[in-house]
């Protein structure tokens, strides 16, 4: 690669970003599916999606660690192969769980895509390496992000030209943080890992706006801030005033 990207690309915050695609389960368009991607493209929105690791090391576009919320299966995503996962119906529709390569191939650069790499904060970098390898094969506006600074730092090392971001919030009340030490939690909420993770952008929880961390990133660090997940008019107003772009859900921006 030619060298590290020094600033976030303009396309990253140029359009509102549809959270897990422009999904509407009641209308038969589940989240993180090819149908949700096509709906976002039709609306002119960028797309945010999530990836989990399959048993055979493939990056699958799926948010949850387990399959029960959206499929008839209940076991962990990582317990099944990509082929097996790809055969599962999502939310009772014809949609299936796509691989990241399939997802990006369908979008084909028509709108930007921001991919969140899911993490258990256990140091496992396999999904990060796989996602980076897939994204590197596409001449399209794609960025990678994660809550886990170890994974973002890994991206800085192995794929410096791919735009990368850190997802963060002011407190850690989600069960996913339960095993983290108080010191680690402080590093996450205060972005005290920036010298190692070296993100190009910040993705910050909308209910934690305004705040010193996103303010300093925007004003002093020249780091754009996207904010998640905007669902109400009040949150939309916060995003408009204190962030550079929103990740939205449940309405048309």
pLDDT of 176 reads 84
Give the per-residue pLDDT at 25.
95
The predicted structure's pLDDT at residue 174: 86
> Residue holding tokens 């796989």?
130
Residue 224 has pLDDT above 80, yes or no: yes
pLDDT at 24: 97
Query: pLDDT tens for residues 53-107?
Result: 999 999 999 999 999 999 999 999 999 999 999 999 999 999 999 999 999 999 9
Q: Calculate ∠ Cα 128-38-136, nearest 5°.
A: 30
Q: Alpha-carbon distance 21 to 30, whole Å?
A: 9
132: Cβ contacts below 8 Å, ≥ 6 apart:
144, 155, 158, 159, 162
3-state secondary structure of 11: helix
pLDDT of residue 3: 43
For the chain, give every domain's residue range.
Answer: 12-248
Q: How confident is the model at residue 6 (pLDDT cuts 50, 70, 90)?
A: low
Task: Please provide the average confidence, as pLDDT, over all residues in the chain.
Answer: 96
pLDDT at 251: 96
Q: Is the model's pLDDT at 5 over the cut of 80?
A: no
CATH code for the part of the protein at 12-248: 3.20.20.190
Give pLDDT, residue 173: 83
Is the separation of the CB atoms in 93 and 30 below 8 Å? yes
Q: Indicate the range of 3-17, 22-36, 84-98 predicted with least confidence.
A: 3-17
Q: Is the dihedral of CA 120, 124, 126, 129 positive or negative?
A: positive
Q: Are strands 59-61 and 201-205 parallel, antiparallel or unpaired?
A: unpaired
Residue 220 CB burial class (10 angstroms; 0-12, 13-18, ≥19) = exposed
Residue with tokens 């976030």: 8
User: Is residue 240 scored above 50 in pLDDT?
Assistant: yes
Give the pLDDT confidence of 120-136 residue by residue, as tens digits.
999 999 999 999 999 99
Q: Which residues contact 64 (CB under 8 A, 6 or more apart)?
A: 52, 70, 77
Which pLDDT does position 175 carry in this prediction? 85
pLDDT of residue 1: 35
């Amino acid at each position: 690669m030619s060298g590290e990207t020094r600033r976030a690309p303009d396309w990253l915050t140029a359009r509102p970003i549809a959270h897990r695609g422009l999904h509407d389960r009641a209308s038969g368009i589940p989240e993180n599916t090819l149908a949700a991607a096509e709906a976002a493209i039709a609306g002119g929105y960028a797309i945010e999606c999530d990836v989990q690791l399959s048993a055979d090391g493939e990056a699958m576009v799926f948010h949850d660690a387990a399959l029960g919320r959206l499929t008839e299966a209940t076991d962990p995503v990582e317990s099944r192969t990509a082929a097996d996962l790809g055969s599962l119906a999502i939310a009772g529709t014809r949609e299936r769980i796509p691989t990241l390569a399939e997802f990006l191939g369908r979008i084909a650069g028509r709108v930007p895509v921001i991919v969140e790499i899911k993490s258990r904060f256990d140091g496992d970098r396999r999904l990060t390496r796989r996602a980076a390898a897939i994204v590197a094969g596409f001449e399209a506006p794609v960025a990678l992000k994660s809550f886990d600074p170890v994974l973002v730092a890994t991206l800085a090392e192995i794929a410096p030209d791919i735009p990368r971001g850190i997802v963060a919030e002011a407190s850690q009340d989600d069960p996913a943080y339960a095993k983290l030490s108080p010191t680690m939690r402080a590093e996450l909420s205060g972005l005290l890992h920036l010298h190692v993770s070296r993100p190009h952008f910040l993705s910050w929880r909308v209910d934690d706006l305004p705040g010193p961390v996103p303010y300093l990133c925007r004003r002093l660090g020249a780091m754009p801030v996207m904010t998640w997940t905007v669902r109400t008019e009040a949150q939309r107003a916060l995003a408009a005033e204190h962030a550079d772009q929103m990740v939205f859900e449940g309405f048309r921006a």
